[in-house]
């Protein structure tokens, strides 16, 4: 089970959807079933439940609001009891898209019994091009607020410093340096740096390894017209 947290606009939902899609395409994997649990109900910027049809087309079950909706009712902070099913399924790889700050992360506390062991990870996504996490100090405060709220340690940092189609290699190098500094200060491993696939080529950001391509599944298509 992987819990993905991060400030709104950090790209955590894009990471959750991209990771789910990548896992779904693997011919062999440790878990026969995949699920995305959308717990982002406090001030959601993007919602993984908006891509319910796409995910389920690729064999990923999406659990979210009680109304099973992607329309107006998807804005209501009402979770379905069915989302406990994947948490209790040992054969299911679960990706949890968590709310954007300590208040948003609070919803996870009602599922605390599923996080008593060591079979879960808590990733914190940081984007140093978002004002609320613009430097190492503010990012550290953000990560610490999530840990304090959940009483669960963050097991890994994910650097997702980018500006979508306005991203440049220099922006990514600057973000990577700050992410490494944050990792050293908090003594939390930097798992990887994400780059927007199709916008930045991996050969243009050599030395920032490990790298992970990130899709643009959550970007509204009309923005590219």
Cα separation values, 52 from 88, 151, 195, Å: 21, 30, 23
Can you tell me the mean pLDDT for 82-100?
A: 90
pLDDT of residue 139: 97
Q: Return d(Cα 88, Cα 86) in angstroms, integer.
A: 5
CA–CA distance from 80 to each of 41, 96, 118 (Å)? Answer: 12, 14, 26
Across the beta sheet with 156-159, the strand order is: 60-63, 33-38, 92-97, 2-6, 121-126, 156-159, 190-196, 211-214
- Go through the chain and tell me how many residues it has: 225
Residue 29 pLDDT: 86
Is the pLDDT at 72 greater than 70? The verdict is no
What does DSSP assign to residue 10?
S
- Output the pLDDT for position 123: 96
Tell which wins on pLDDT, 63 or 74: 63
Total of domains in the chain = 1
For residue 50, the model assigns a pLDDT of 83
- Provide the pLDDT for residue 83: 84
Return the number of other C-beta atoms located less than 10 Å from residue 153's C-beta: 8
Residue 163 DSSP label: -
Which CATH number do you get for residue 45?
Answer: 3.40.50.300
Q: What is the 3-state secondary structure (H, E, C) of 15-48?
A: HHHHHHHHHHHCCCCCCCEEEEEECCCCCCCCCH
Contact between 99 and 3 under an 8 Å Cβ cutoff? The reply is: no
For residue range 97-134, list pLDDT tens digits in order: 987 666 667 788 888 888 887 889 999 999 999 999 99
pLDDT at residue 69 greater than cutoff 60: no
Q: What's residue 184's pLDDT? A: 98
- Residue 87, sorted as left (phi over 0), alpha (psi -120 to 50) or beta, turns out to be alpha
Instruction: Give the pLDDT confidence of 170-197 residue by residue, as tens digits.
Output: 999 999 999 999 999 999 999 999 999 9
Lowest mean pLDDT among 29-33, 35-39, 68-72, 138-142: 68-72
In this prediction, residues 4-26 reach a mean pLDDT of 92
Kindly indicate the confidence band of residue 21, based on its pLDDT and cuts at 50, 70 and 90.
very high
pLDDT confidence bin for 56, thresholds 50/70/90? very high
What's the Cα-to-Cα distance from 87 to each of 2, 38, 177, 180, rounded to whole Å?
11, 13, 35, 32
Q: Residue 38: which H helix or E strand, with range? A: strand 33-38
Q: Are strands 92-97 and 211-214 parallel, antiparallel or unpaired?
A: unpaired
Half-sphere exposure (Cβ direction) of 156: Cα atoms closer than 13 Å: 14
CA distance 89 to 183: 32
pLDDT at 185: 97
Supply the pLDDT for residue 225.
41
Q: Which residue has the higher pLDDT, 45 or 198?
A: 198
- For range 38-58, the mean pLDDT: 79
Residue 75, domain extent: 2-224
């Amino acid at each position: 089970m992987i819990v993905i947290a991060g400030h709104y606009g950090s790209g955590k939902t894009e990471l959750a959807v991209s990771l789910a899609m990548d896992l779904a395409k693997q011919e062999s994997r440790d878990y026969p079933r995949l699920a995305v649990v959308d717990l982002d109900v406090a001030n959601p910027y993007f919602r993984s439940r908006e891509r319910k049809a796409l995910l389920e087309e690729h064999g990923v079950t999406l659990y979210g609001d009680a109304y099973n909706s992607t329309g107006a009712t998807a804005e209501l902070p009402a979770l379905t009891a069915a989302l406990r099913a994947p948490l209790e399924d040992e054969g299911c790889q679960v990706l949890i898209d968590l709310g954007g700050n300590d208040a948003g992360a609070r919803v996870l506390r009602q599922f605390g019994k599923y996080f008593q062991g060591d079979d879960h990870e808590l990733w914190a996504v940081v984007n140093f091009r978002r004002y609320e996490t613009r430097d190492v100090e503010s990012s550290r405060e953000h990560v610490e607020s999530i840990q304090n709220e959940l009483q669960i340690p963050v097991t890994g940092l994910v650097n997702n410093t980018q500006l979508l189609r306005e991203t440049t290699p220099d922006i990514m190098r600057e973000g990577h340096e700050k992410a490494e500094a944050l990792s050293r200060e908090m003594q939390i491993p930097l798992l990887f740096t994400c780059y927007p696939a199709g916008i930045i080529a991996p050969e243009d950001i050599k030395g920032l390894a490990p790298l992970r391509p990130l899709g643009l599944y959550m970007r509204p298509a009309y923005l590219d017209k």
